[in-house]
Amino acid sequence: MIKLAKKVVKLLSKKGLRISFAESCTGGLLSSSITSISGSSKVFTLGFVTYSNLAKINILKVPKKILIKHGAVSYETCSSMVKNINKISKTNISLSITGVAGPKGGTREKPIGLVFIGIKKGNKTLVKKFLFKNKKRSSIQKATVNKALNLILSFAK
């Protein structure tokens, strides 16, 4: 994770790009991975941990109807989170994460390990769905951060 975070900070610095995050199930782990790197202040603008639905509504302005209809762990919520963190931060790249880290809270439709990661750069927005099977909470969080860092690398090029 740290090697990837170093690569991200180096690439964003080189390209003169700034980044922001809206995290839910990772609880700030992505922000922490970036800010643990010296020089990250040149590229990292802000990170929100919007863990509750209320925080998603009040801070990220995710419409309540999206959360009611699709739930916090959904393509639609993740998409709204990334678009709105981008509006708030006005950064070149924004990323959002929402998922079920477990060990409780999973359902048949939304099992433990289901994660959505959204990324936005300019007019391009991508939301990807991942399922991390047979993993513990911390492993799901770390795997999610690794996927997010790799997504940033591919988007920033």
CA distance 110 to 113: 8
pLDDT in tens, 90-126: 999 999 999 999 998 889 999 999 999 999 999 999 9
- DSSP 8-state code for residue 100: -
pTM of the entire structure?
0.96
Q: Name the residue ranges covered by the structural domains of the chain.
A: 2-156
pLDDT in tens, 71-81: 999 999 999 99
pLDDT in tens, 135-146: 899 999 999 999
State the angle between helix axes of 2-15 and 137-156 in degrees (0 to 180), rounded to the nearest 10: 20
- DSSP 8-state code for residue 42: G
Q: What is the largest CA-CA distance in the chain?
A: 44
- Could you tell me the two tokens for 26? 């990772």
Fold that domain 2-156 belongs to in CATH: Maf protein (3.90.950)
Beta strand ranges found along 17-92 (DSSP E) = 19-23, 44-49
Residues 6 or more apart whose Cβ sits within 8 Å of residue 113: 99, 100, 102, 106, 130, 131, 132, 133, 134, 135, 140
Taking a C-beta distance cutoff of 8 angstroms, is the pair 82, 47 a contact? no
**Element of type H or E holding 122:** none
- Could you tell me the two tokens for 72? 């916090």
